Structure 1
């Protein structure tokens, strides 16, 4: 019995259809590669009509206009390209669904796919949805090795698609006889979602179209002004007896003066040059064009500080770059969700069968870890019982697992422990034939104060023996806490502290003498 796969939307998958391209362009179909250019001679009335038609089920002119805007407006092309390439250039990782061998094999298959040459360019094509609202990328499958692997992800012109007239969201492929649904497991359908609503209304081109139109008028007027700027007015004069032919000759002469800087006229005619005087602010064109560019920057990148020369300098740029980071994360999460639904699941299902859980593509910047702080914290907490995996620490600090034959670094050896009962170390005789006793612990020399402390601690038992003699028996016979307090008070009151006082005085005197003679031994 044949097995049936179902995609993420519950549609059955027909694997026989996956072996041929569904949307390959042909010269006889509506899916042609030639294009028209609605941006030429665009007016406010025509633009409004194009935008309305795109919502009413005919998005072709709008999508062609979106392409024209990218080609004609350098600023829009720059900021849109920045947004697409910034996301496509992020690190891609694949997380296995589990720790078992089957889950790891499925994850490795996905890793092999995304590590193909050309996958970066394919991601940029998928992100065309940011500008136009959606993108449709066909998976061209390769089955020659009995495995299902994408040979390439083919970008298809968005003009070749339309949407279901009922829900406005389901993409349909345009055919000569109408439309047909996209084959399950053969398409990556990504939406830009610049705003909530229908996919055709979710791209930036819709908002940028009006800025593009107004800027085109401004730039055209600016070009005319720059062409005539500084050129004097050439004024031709003729008398009342001049014929129509004479007037034509004079006009031709005045015109040639502007182009060739040479002309001849009859003696009865004259040409005067009137100096051009500029009135008003000729900065208006530049300021208006710059202002419109800033609006485009706000739409596409959410800010202007990293794209336009504005007051505020570095500080403003850093703040605005943080806004761009948030947009980058949003685009990355949306792209990863699309790839996991339309690429990862088909790859795993066709090669390993349906799974309860699937590997997951994650897109983003590597986590920034303060290695010094991490090592310091682990060093302090491990002695208190914190259990830390060595493999986790290696991953965190970026250290690979050492090989079997690698030379390993080891902790420096500390000083050998010293037996407190061992005698002081006596070094060999010096050149003068003298010997000197050196007191040390762990190879470190003791000073006079440390030696005095050792001497005091070695004689403590005779000093306190009168205090503790018979104390245990008295406390055992006591019947209350008050009796114990009374016993201890009586013992302390009768204690002879003269011996302890004498020992402390001798020690203090010895330390003083050692300080005077700089005794470091």
Structure 2
């Protein structure tokens, strides 16, 4: 295959000469600048409605900037959103080969090698920024220093630098100096996370949480104002009847200084009194109750429940149900993320290094398996003994064991010598080896059957004559021993020698195949 004609997952031609270039790098001289606006300042219901409407009509810059500020200014939203993203980014990742063919196993090992990168968890965390904003874009930085295409870095790109097609609302374009640019094939991981059905820009958690953020912001401002007015005792300064204007100014400064510096001096004939503010528990609790209620709504939107984030009364059964809901959301996020990585990274990695394949390996992101590995291995062994066909790659992936190298030292059962190298076994699928062994044995039987009469006939004829002439059993026994001692067996020995080697080899292959299937 000519690599210049390589097509991506959507059928677009891949330009290999541009894969090493960064297409979406930031620049002060372009529209892709790191510094952005702050729409959260002075946010009102009318402004929020406007920027949400602009986002769904194609101009999402203000909405995306608001989503960023919400994480910076609302600690509860930052906490629950970060919890959801980190829970998925730290999950176990396994690779399943397409089959037991050597080509498919090698392709899976290539993906496993890439997954060992230490930066992967942080990169997955950035990709999961789509949970809050609806989508995320990560540029793949390819390198070819090792004579192969390798994703050296996955760079997060600011969502503000991209724009959805205004006709379908799903196709992404890169903002350029004058016009929108198409994203280069095999260069980006485009992840979409949907809190609800609809176009990607309306599927992020931030869109729903923005209203809770707005009302909570109003609540906190009023709460702080109330505390400033009623949280400290009222300071009252009293001056005598004949006090001058200068005396009044001295007293006023003293009252003000006590509030800020907790110290002041006044003339001896003046007085400052502290009047405690009225304790109105209902009014002060109102602000806190509203803030807590809004936080619980955000927890439900992000995590699907509240018992894992707030301490409240509830039964153990209720807490278990809430934890199950959170795990369901985690599994959904993990499946969506795995599908994106398989589409936008696994396939390009294989195609660039091995060429297009009929089947591709796939990564699986999920919770660690709780099965007992010993019980699993014993159960698989019993099923194989009963005739069930099980792919070795499935068992290896389940146990987290890589395919052994041809020259690797292999573990063997106690008391059994390590098997000698059998190239034909390692280079072919086990099922094909089994069929080949059976064919060899059948061919051997046919060959021996064809030579049997020719080889055995001259040896059997003298025995038949001896038995016909002998007068008694004792005479036949004595003469048979003499006949066998002088019999020519060279032809039979030659046939048995030629048949023994392939029969032994086929038998060893069968034994080796059965042993490896059981392990």
SS of structure 2 residue aligned to 1:235: strand
Output one character per residue of 1:422-465: Cα deviation in whole Å (capped at 9) or x when no partner.
Answer: xxxxxxxxxxxxxxxxxxxxxxxxxxxxxxxxxxxxxxxxxxxx
Does residue 293 of the first structure (1) align with residue 291 of the second (2)?
Answer: no
What is the TM-score normalised by the length of structure 2? 0.71
The unaligned stretches of length 5 or more in structure 2 are 417-519
1:329 is aligned to: 331
Does residue 113 of the first structure (1) align with residue 114 of the second (2)?
Answer: yes
1:133 is aligned to: 134
SS of structure 2 residue aligned to 1:19: coil
2:42 is aligned to: 41
Output one character per residue of 1:246-282: Cα deviation in whole Å (capped at 9) or x when no partner.
Answer: 6554432321121123334567865332222212422
Output one character per residue of 1:361-393: Cα deviation in whole Å (capped at 9) or x when no partner.
Answer: 1111244335687689789x889x834789979
Alignment partner for residue 370 of structure 2, among 360, 368, 372? 368
| CA distance, structure 2, for counterparts of residue 391 and residue 58 of structure 1 | 51
What is the TM-score normalised by the length of structure 1? 0.71
| Structure number, greater radius of gyration | 1
Query: Quick check: 1:136–1:187 contact (8 Å CA) kept in 2?
Result: yes
Output one character per residue of 1:36-85: Cα deviation in whole Å (capped at 9) or x when no partner.
Answer: 32222322222222212212222111111111111111111111111111
Once structures 1 and 2 are overlaid, which stretch shifts more, 116-125 or 367-376? 367-376
In structure 2, relative to structure 1, the CA distance for the partners of 1:248 and 1:9 (3 Å cut) is farther
Q: What pairs up with 1:394-413 in 2 under 5 angstroms?
A: 408=414
| CA distance, structure 1, for counterparts of residue 151 and residue 90 of structure 2 | 21
Q: What pairs up with 1:52-451 in 2 under 5 angstroms?
A: 52-227=53-228, 231-237=232-238, 248-265=249-266, 270-281=271-282, 282-369=284-371, 386-387=386-387, 408=414
How many residues are matched? Answer: 408
Cα drift, residue 87 of structure 1: 1.0
Once structures 1 and 2 are overlaid, which stretch shifts more, 162-171 or 221-230? 221-230
1:506 is aligned to: none
Output one character per residue of 1:193-245: Cα deviation in whole Å (capped at 9) or x when no partner.
Answer: 11111111111111111111111222233334445555221123568887766
* Structure with the larger helix share: 2
SS of structure 2 residue aligned to 1:150: strand
SS of structure 2 residue aligned to 1:102: helix
Q: CA RMSD in A?
A: 3.2
Query: Quick check: 1:171–1:182 contact (8 Å CA) kept in 2?
Result: yes
Query: Quick check: 2:236–2:275 contact (8 Å CA) kept in 1?
Result: yes
Output one character per residue of 1:268-303: Cα deviation in whole Å (capped at 9) or x when no partner.
Answer: 865332222212422222222111111111000101
Query: Quick check: 2:22–2:141 contact (8 Å CA) kept in 1?
Result: yes
Query: Quick check: 2:94–2:400 contact (8 Å CA) kept in 1?
Result: no
| CA distance, structure 1, for counterparts of residue 263 and residue 413 of structure 2 | 87
| CA distance, structure 2, for counterparts of residue 25 and residue 60 of structure 1 | 15
| CA distance, structure 1, for counterparts of residue 128 and residue 165 of structure 2 | 22
In structure 2, relative to structure 1, the CA distance for the partners of 1:160 and 1:241 (3 Å cut) is farther
SS of structure 2 residue aligned to 1:234: strand
Query: Quick check: 2:100–2:391 contact (8 Å CA) kept in 1?
Result: no
Does residue 16 of the first structure (1) align with residue 22 of the second (2)?
Answer: no
